[in-house]
């Protein structure tokens, strides 16, 4: 495979955004498109690694710009500040995700009739909010993402199949949040699945957390592999490649 990476400028209202496209350049025909929402830090090496995993499966992956101007920060307090500001306005948050979806769907290499959204941590929660906005996509995958929503009743707007992969010992997503998610998703008009991995903490797909991790975070190779298989199986099923 020959991976090609290129930046793509797009707009969310008046905000200039810069996403990243990753795909196998050896394929000429339009392929399924995945809009990927990164963790709260933005587009960095971790997001690129995740995107290459999906590009290996034949997808065109567009990593969304959550904050504008391609902003990335490794400073966790700053990342939390940016995340909190975006999450504080649900309409703006959903519009930001829809702008990224539209940018991905308009890529020449993408078959816009086969679109999905994937997100990690804050990006997983963002992917779910995109679905709650009524976006026309085939699937949503949230990996160690937040499961709460400012408007959980909007699960009624979901049109996509949903897979949420959750660490059973994740202190950032406590049991009551999981219970509420299950309650609202049980009334959603779509097929959905929640996978819970016992004794697993937040950020379980990120190998960088194996050596040193913030409190409540830890890489888990078993959960990483299981969640990746579940994601690929779902995408294979909805895209029917």
Closest listed residue to residue 125, CA positions, set 103, 140, 109: 140
pTM of whole model > 0.95? Answer: yes
Q: Whose structure tokens read 């049991």?
A: 175
Q: Are 156 and 121 in contact (CB under 8 A)?
A: no
Q: What is the pLDDT of residue 35?
A: 98
Q: What is the pLDDT of residue 160?
A: 98
Handedness of CA 48, 51, 55, 60 (dihedral sign): negative
Q: What is the pLDDT of residues 176-212, one digit of tens each?
A: 999 999 999 999 999 999 999 999 999 999 999 988 8
Domain extents for the chain?
3-239
Q: Counting every residue, how long is the chain?
A: 241
Q: What is the pLDDT of residues 9-60, one digit of tens each?
A: 999 999 999 999 999 988 778 999 999 999 999 999 999 999 999 999 999 9
Handedness of CA 192, 100, 6, 41 (dihedral sign): negative
Q: What is the pLDDT of residues 95-143, one digit of tens each?
A: 999 999 999 999 999 999 999 999 999 999 999 999 999 999 999 999 9
Hey, what CATH topology would domain 3-239 get?
Answer: Rossmann fold (3.40.50)
The pLDDT confidence band at residue 2, using thresholds 50, 70 and 90, is confident
In this prediction, residues 133-159 reach a mean pLDDT of 98
In DSSP notation, 134-188 reads T---SEEEEES-----SSGGGGGG--SEEEEEEETT-TTS-HHHHHHHHHHHTTS
Whether 90 has a pLDDT exceeding 90, the answer reads: yes
């Amino acid at each position: 495979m020959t991976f090609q990476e290129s930046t793509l400028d797009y707009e969310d209202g008046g905000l200039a955004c810069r996403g990243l496209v990753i795909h196998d350049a050896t394929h000429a025909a339009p392929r399924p498109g995945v809009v990927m929402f990164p963790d709260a830090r933005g587009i960095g090496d971790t997001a690129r690694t995740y995107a290459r995993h999906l590009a290996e499966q034949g997808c065109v992956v567009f990593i969304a710009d959550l904050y504008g101007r391609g902003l990335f920060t490794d400073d966790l307090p700053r990342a939390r500040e940016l995340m909190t500001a975006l999450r504080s306005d649900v309409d703006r948050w959903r519009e930001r995700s829809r702008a990224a979806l539209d940018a991905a769907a308009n890529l020449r290499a993408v078959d816009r009739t086969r679109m999905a959204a994937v997100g990690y941590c804050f990006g997983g929660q963002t992917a779910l909010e995109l679905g709650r906005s009524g976006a026309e996509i085939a699937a949503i995958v949230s990996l160690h993402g937040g499961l709460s929503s400012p408007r959980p009743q909007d699960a009624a707007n979901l049109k996509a199949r949903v897979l949420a992969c959750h660490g059973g010992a994740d202190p950032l997503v406590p049991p009551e949040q999981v219970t509420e998610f299950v309650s609202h998703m049980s009334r959603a008009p779509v097929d959905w699945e929640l996978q819970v991995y016992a004794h697993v903490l937040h950020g379980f797909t990120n190998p960088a957390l194996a050596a040193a991790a913030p409190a409540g975070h830890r890489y888990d190779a078993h959960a990483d592999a299981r969640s990746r298989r579940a994601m690929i199986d779902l995408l294979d099923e909805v895209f029917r490649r």
